[in-house]
Amino acid sequence: MNRFDASTIWNSHSDNVDDGTQCDSFTGDASPSEEQVNLSDGECSSSWSAALRAQTFFVPLHYEANYRYPLIVWLHNDGFNENQVCHVMPHVSSRNYLATGIRAPMALDSSGHRFAWSDSGAALQSAEQCVLEAIDRAASQYSVHAERIILAGYHRGGTMATRIAMRHPELFAAAISLGGSFELPPASELDRQRLQERRLPMLWQRSLGADHYCEADLIAEIGAASSIGAQLEIRQYRNDDEMNTVVLSDLDRWVMNHVVCGASVAKMNRWDTSPTSFSDN
């Protein structure tokens, strides 16, 4: 796998991944179309809530009930669905993590396969509720390490992941964004003091050749992340899309180093560096 084709339709039913890992799905009521979902701020319809209950679990190879696994909560990019997690995780690690995929609330097609995130206040609140419920459901069914919950996403899913993590910084061990922009929540929703005390670890993975890459925007986003004291690491790749095996295996090493093993993301001084296996980084 070098990248995901945006036209791919993921199977909406449970399936087994080729390497022996298992994916199980949980789906609430049938998802409404985009026209049926109220996107206005301050409102959350029962149909919207029902749509957000779709969830898929990725169970690692040789799952051990007595071992507390790190949990990766995966938010797909626009045009896909919660089953993307089952195609991503084997390229991250088939053994190291439990993972769960969350479905975005806005339907893009009548067949119910493709979904997208929205920027509205109601969408953010609903996505946040969905993530929190998904974590509770994962912890009730599997052995989850409560201090090793990672919120991650691809493109718009990565943007949503960092936004939700900033609203609950104590809940997440880290937030990871593959190609997603970084957006601070409105000041009324941002507990800056709590974020500065928490110093939430973040990994941003960006492809230099991507159509959406802009160095000026990245510099501004770094300033925004610095203003809340985030422990930020940025990794850049000489290709045109973040969804590839190099980026995903890099994600695994970063989580193992900084979440599982507890190494600080922040450097002692500006001259410190970290080794990397990829000469193009």
Residue 250 lies in a domain: yes
Domain count, the chain: 1
Residue 27 lies in a domain: yes
pLDDT at 266: 59
Which structure tokens are listed for 101? 């995929």
CATH number for the domain harbouring residue 69: 3.40.50.1820
Reduced to 3 states, what is the DSSP secondary structure of residue 192?
helix
pLDDT at 204: 98
Q: Which helix (H) or strand (E) holds 99?
A: strand 98-102
Residue 203 lies in a domain: yes
The three-state (H, E, C) secondary structure of 226-252, written as one string: HHCCCEEEEEEECCCCCCCHHHHHHHH
Q: Which helix (H) or strand (E) holds 66?
A: none
Distance (Å, whole) CA 12 – CA 25: 8
Residue 61 lies in a domain: yes
Q: Which residue has the tokens 């493109």?
A: 155
pLDDT at 23: 78
- What does the mean pLDDT of the chain come to? 81
Which of the residues in the chain have pLDDT under 50? Answer: 1-19, 28-52, 268-281
Pairing status of strand 231-237 against strand 201-207? parallel
Q: Which structural domain range is residue 22 located in?
A: 15-260
pLDDT at 185: 81
**From residue 73, how far is each of 148, 193, 208, 270 by CA, in Å?**
11, 25, 26, 32
pLDDT at 236: 96
Residue 8 lies in a domain: no
pLDDT at 278: 44
pLDDT at 269: 45
Distance (Å, whole) CA 209 – CA 232: 21
pLDDT at 68: 97
Q: Within 13 A of 77's CA, how many CA atoms are on the CB side?
A: 18
Distance (Å, whole) CA 49 – CA 127: 9
pLDDT at 52: 42
Residue 280 lies in a domain: no
